[in-house]
């Protein structure tokens, strides 16, 4: 069963790391951006040592703290997966997305000393903070987990 988690997570992790490798090799850090859709979508290379919306970015402790949180979350997901806490396809998909996102950003922290962000959108009412494939996996997982809580029944052994 754990193999299913890895089979789903691994391709997303590879996509995340491949896209970041491309950005690191072809875009100088904070130097320039490429317009993909004029006035809406750009690609650039920026460093984020923090978490969502840059919280903790640039702090000396951020990679250590957020790296430890990532490892703890990955272990917790693995344990919960083995215990059958994710009862349906929606929650199992969310767990796989979380795993891929956690692994992708943790790898960045270890390899680069920061998370490589490169997707930038102007939503007209705000310029969305730069993000990456791993971040998109984590956000999608949160949405799926929330949704699954309405539609999937927890396993008998987990019910309060």
159 vs 85: CA distance, rounded Å: 10
Domain boundaries of the chain, sorted by first residue:
1-29+42-53+69-126+139-160
How many Å apart are CA 34 and CA 112, to the nearest integer?
A: 22
| pLDDT in the model for residue 158 | 56
CB 93, CB 24: distance < 8 Å:
no
List, for the chain, all residue ranges whose pLDDT scores fall below the cut of 70.
1, 52-54, 157-160
Residue 82: is it exposed, middle or buried by C-beta count within 10 angstroms (0-12/13-18/19+)? exposed
Pairing state between β 41-48 and 33-37: antiparallel
Residue 38 is among the residues annotated as catalytic for this protein: no
pLDDT of residue 75: 95
Q: What is the pLDDT of residue 54?
A: 66
135 is catalytic: yes
Q: What's the pTM value of the predicted model, to 2 decimals? A: 0.87
Catalytic residue selected from 16, 108, 122, 135: 135
pLDDT of the residue at 35: 95
Catalytic residue among 16, 38, 117, 122: 117
């Amino acid at each position: 069963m754990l193999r299913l988690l890895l089979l789903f997570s691994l391709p997303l992790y590879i996509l995340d790391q491949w896209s970041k490798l491309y950005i690191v090799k072809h875009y100088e850090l904070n130097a320039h951006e490429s317009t993909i859709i004029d006035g809406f979508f750009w690609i650039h290379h920026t460093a984020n040592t923090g978490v969502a919306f840059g919280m903790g970015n640039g702090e000396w402790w951020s990679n250590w703290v957020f790296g430890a949180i990532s490892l703890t979350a990955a272990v917790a997901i693995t344990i919960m997966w083995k215990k059958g806490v994710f009862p349906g396809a929606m929650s199992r998909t969310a767990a796989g997305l979380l795993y891929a996102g956690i692994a992708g950003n943790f790898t960045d922290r270890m390899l680069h000393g920061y998370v490589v962000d490169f997707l930038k959108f102007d939503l007209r009412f705000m310029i969305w903070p730069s993000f990456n494939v791993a971040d998109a996996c984590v956000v999608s997982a949160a949405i799926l987990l929330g949704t699954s809580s309405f539609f999937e029944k927890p396993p008998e052994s987990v019910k309060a």
